[in-house]
């Protein structure tokens, strides 16, 4: 299991802001759970970290930063 932050360098949409905007877990099978740190919080489930990067990466303006591995 890996723990990560979603770090946004540039807020393309004006919704989530910049900096650490979400935190998540990559499970042993590659599936991902991610919780947004925005004013109105939500949680998303994804098939892979690649899907997270594709959906939320905004062409490199947001990145996944692995912070711990268990």
Location of structure tokens 């892979």: 48
On whether the CB atoms of residues 46 and 40 are closer than 8 A, the answer is no
Predicted pLDDT of residue 50: 96
On whether the CB atoms of residues 2 and 23 are closer than 8 A, the answer is no
Residue 20's domain spans which residues? 2-69
Query: Is residue 51 pLDDT above 90, yes or no?
Result: yes
Give the pLDDT confidence of 1-29 residue by residue, as tens digits: 999 999 998 877 777 788 999 999 999 99
Domain count, the chain: 1
From the list 40, 34, 43, 39, the residue with the least C-alpha distance to 2 is 34
**pTM score, two decimals?**
0.86
Q: In what order do the strands lie in the sheet with 19-26?
A: 43-46, 32-36, 19-26, 2-8, 62-69
């Amino acid at each position: 299991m890996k723990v990560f932050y979603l770090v946004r360098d540039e807020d393309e949409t004006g919704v989530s802001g910049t900096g650490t905007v979400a935190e998540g877990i990559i499970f042993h099978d590659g599936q991902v759970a991610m919780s947004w740190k925005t004013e109105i919080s939500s949680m998303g489930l994804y098939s892979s970290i690649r899907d997270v990067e594709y959906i939320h990466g905004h062409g490199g303006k947001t990145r996944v930063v692995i912070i711990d591995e268990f």
